[in-house]
């Protein structure tokens, strides 16, 4: 992924959220977040847990943002200024102008529509500002609620990725540019 993709990681807003570039100031949040057993159970078991590993992980994320090789944000509650999660654009697929997106929220904020709100805004950014043709996401097959988030964001189920997750299978969803704009204009 050597070409410049992102041209900066802008702050995005929704009614309840500020979605801003991840920074080294987020070390304490990320350490707590990556050690939460509820969050961790659906992610790669090699996630760092010691503060040194989390700091290294965060430094690499900041470096990717600064070199325009990724877009990694934190999700902040607008009315409290509290960081409650992450959302990111990852791998670029240049042949189809597509990216994958991922997200994680602190457990206490699950089921409150926050993941959907953040994902909708990042998808909008991807199509409106980056001129993408495709955005995809996958979730651990055991994390059914994450699939519901993707469906709320008008993503379509594409199939099961066998043995793709650290827990086994994963479910793949996507949204393409044409469908995004049809849905936007039809309300």
Residue 6: band (very low, low, confident or very high) from pLDDT cuts 50, 70, 90: low
Q: What is the pLDDT of residue 94?
A: 81
Beta strand segments in 17-155, E? 17-21, 71-77, 82-93, 98-105, 134-140
**What's the rounded mean pLDDT across residues 92-117?**
93
**What's the rounded mean pLDDT across residues 164-171?**
78
Residue 111: band (very low, low, confident or very high) from pLDDT cuts 50, 70, 90: very high
The pTM of this model reads 0.91
Q: What is the pLDDT of residue 47?
A: 64
List Cβ<8 Å contacts ≥24 apart for 40-49: 41/142, 41/167, 42/104, 42/139, 42/140, 42/142, 42/143, 42/146, 42/165, 42/167, 43/104, 43/140, 43/166, 44/166, 45/166
pLDDT tens digits, residue range 44-54? 666 667 889 88
Indicate the CATH number of 12-186 among 3.40.630.30, 1.10.760.10, 3.40.720.10, 3.40.50.2300.
3.40.630.30
């Amino acid at each position: 992924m050597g070409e410049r993709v992102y041209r900066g990681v802008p702050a995005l807003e929704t009614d309840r959220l500020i979605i801003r570039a991840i920074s080294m100031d987020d070390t304490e949040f990320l350490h707590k977040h990556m050690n939460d057993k509820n969050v961790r159970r659906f992610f790669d078991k090699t996630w760092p847990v010691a503060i040194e590993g989390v700091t290294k992980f965060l430094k690499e994320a900041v470096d990717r943002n600064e070199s325009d090789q990724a877009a990694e944000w934190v999700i902040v509650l607008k009315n409290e200024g509290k960081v409650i999660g992450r959302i990111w654009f990852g791998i670029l697929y240049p042949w189809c102008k597509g990216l994958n997106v991922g997200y994680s929220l602190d457990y206490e904020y699950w089921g409150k529509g926050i993941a959907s709100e953040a994902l909708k805004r990042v998808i909008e950014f991807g199509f409106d500002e980056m001129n993408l043709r495709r955005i995809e996401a996958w979730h651990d097959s055991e994390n059914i609620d994450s699939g519901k988030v993707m469906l709320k964001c008008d993503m379509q189920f594409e199939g099961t990725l066998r043995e793709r997750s650290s827990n086994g299978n994963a479910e793949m969803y996507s949204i393409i540019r044409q469908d995004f704009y049809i849905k936007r204009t039809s309300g």
